[in-house]
Amino acid sequence: MKANEKKMLIALIILLSGLAVKSFFMDPYRPESDQMAQYAEFAQLMAPFQQQTMLDRMKVLNYQTVDVERIKEEGQTHIAVLEPDTDGIAEIELSGEYEARVRAYLFWIFPIRDIHIEGGLPAHENKPGS
């Protein structure tokens, strides 16, 4: 291997290591409250349904919430979260309105795209006769 090839290989290894550190330690969202943590979980669950590409169908993409914001104090956001005890899904309501940004990663390291999630599930209204 020539000297230039060795330098390029070392540079590639350093850059890939830096990208891995960024993807694993700098990108993940650290919630400020329980409600923001619950919305971050909801956004991560909903992100794969926003766009279905060939990479999604091949199951090589992983999703990670990178940002959550409370955009309005008033109102309610209806979301679904995983129950750790039963592995089922629970529907809950959060006070306020939220939006999140979820990043899709190829093999947990390479960021592919950002997905914007706004609001929650449609509210269930109990109407007479339904």
CB 115 within 8 A of CB 51: yes
DSSP state letters, 12-46: HHHHHHHHHHIIIIISS---SSHHHHHHHHHHHHH
pLDDT value of position 8: 95
On the question of pLDDT at 125 being above 70, the answer is no
* Predicted TM-score (pTM) above 0.95: no
pLDDT value of position 124: 57
pLDDT value of position 85: 78
Average pLDDT over the chain reads 84
CB 31 within 8 A of CB 42: no
Between 82 and 126, whose confidence is greater? Answer: 82
20-74 per-position pLDDT tens digit: 998 888 888 888 888 888 888 888 888 887 777 777 777 788 899 999 988 888 8
Q: In this prediction, what percent of the chain has a pLDDT beyond 90?
A: 21
Highest mean pLDDT among 8-17, 19-28, 80-89, 121-130: 8-17
